[in-house]
Structure 1
Amino acid sequence: MDLFDRTRDHVLALFRIVIGFIFALHGAATLFDVLTGPRGGKVPEFAAWPSWWAAAIQLVGGTLVVLGLGTRYAALLCSGSMAYAYFTVHQGNALFPIENGGEIPALFAWSFLLIAVFGPGKWAIDELFSRSRRSDSQHSEAAAA
C-alpha cells in the first residue's frame, strides 16, 4: 500500500471540508449580507425562487458536508443545485464555462458529485453512526450465537 492509498480518506475528508466551507460561505454571504455580501447586489426575499433557495442550499448543504452529516445526500443536493445554476444562468450565454462565467458552479457541481460518490472520508459524523451500527450488529450477532 503506497502513500496515496494510505492517505486517501484523509485527503478526501480535507477536500470535503474545504469545499463545503467555501460553499457555506457563499450561502451566508447571500442570505445575511456578510463577508462580501450577496453576489447579485441585494439580499433575496425570504423563499424567493431561485435565489433564496439556492443560498439556503449553499448554507445548509455546505454545513452538512463540512460536518460529514448526511454527507452523500447533502453533496448530491449541492451538486444538483449547482448544475441547475450552471444550465439556467450560464449555459445560455456561451458554450464553455470560461466564456459564460460558469466556472464556479461547474467546479462546485463536479466537486460535490465526487463527494457524493466517494463518501465523506475521515472525520465525518456519518462515520460515527456507521461505527455505532456496526458495533450494534456485531453485538446482536454474538448474542444470537
Structure 2
Amino acid sequence: MYTRLNHAQPYALSLFRIVVGLLFACHGAASLFGLFGMHALSAGAWPGWYAGAIQLVGGGLVLIGLGTRTAALVASGSMAYAYFNVHQPDGLFPMQNGGEAAAIFCWTFLLIVFTGPGALSVDRLLTSRGGSGSEDERRAHRTPVAA
C-alpha cells in the first residue's frame, strides 16, 4: 500500500500546490480588482496593494508551477510580514488576532519551497525538455523509489 502512495506523492504535491496557488491568487485578485465581494484597494496603497500584487502574481506562478520555489519563498515572506506587522500586535496567537490565514499560508508556502512543485508543473516540463537545471532540480522531480 505504501508503495502506491509513494508513487502518487509527486502528483499529490502538485495538486496541493495548485490548490494553494489558486486560493492565494484569488486573495490577490480580490484585493486588486475588488472581486469576490471585496473592495479594490487604491493602486500603490502600502502595504495592502503590494501584498495583493504579490498574492496575485506569486499565487499564479505557484499555481502553474513556474519558478515555484522562488515564488513560494516570496509568498511565505509576505505572509510572515503580514502576520507579524498586521496581526500579531492584536494578540499573540492567531485565534486572538485574526491571523490564521496569514500563518497557514506562510507555513504552507515554506513547505512548498522545500518540497518543490511536484510532477505536474511548468518547472518540470522545462527541466525535462531542455535538460537545463541543476542535478538537484532534476532529482527533485523524480518519482521516489519505494523502500
- Report the TM range for the smaller structure's normalisation: 0.7 to 0.9
CA drift at 1:34: 1.1
Count the aligned residue pairs.
132
TM-score normalised per structure 2: 0.85
2:135 corresponds in structure 1 to none
1:52 corresponds in structure 2 to 49
- Where 1:69 maps in the other structure, the secondary structure is coil
Q: Cα RMSD (Å) of the superposition?
A: 1.5
2:27 corresponds in structure 1 to 26
Work out the CA distance in 1 between the residues paired with 2:77 and 2:8.
28
Q: Give the one of 75, 78, 102 matched to 1:78.
A: 75
Q: Give the one of 123, 129, 135 matched to 2:126.
A: 129
Runs of 4+ in 1 over 3 A off after TM superposition: none
- Where 2:38 maps in the other structure, the secondary structure is coil
- Where 2:11 maps in the other structure, the secondary structure is helix
Q: Which amino acid aligns with 2:7?
A: R
2:7 corresponds in structure 1 to 6
1:64-87: CA deviation from partner (whole Å, max 9, x where unpaired)? 000000000000000000000000
1:87-143: CA deviation from partner (whole Å, max 9, x where unpaired)? 0011111111111111000000000001111100011000011112328xxxxxxxx
Bigger Rg, structure 1 or 2 = 1
TM-score normalised per structure 1: 0.86
- Where 1:72 maps in the other structure, the secondary structure is helix
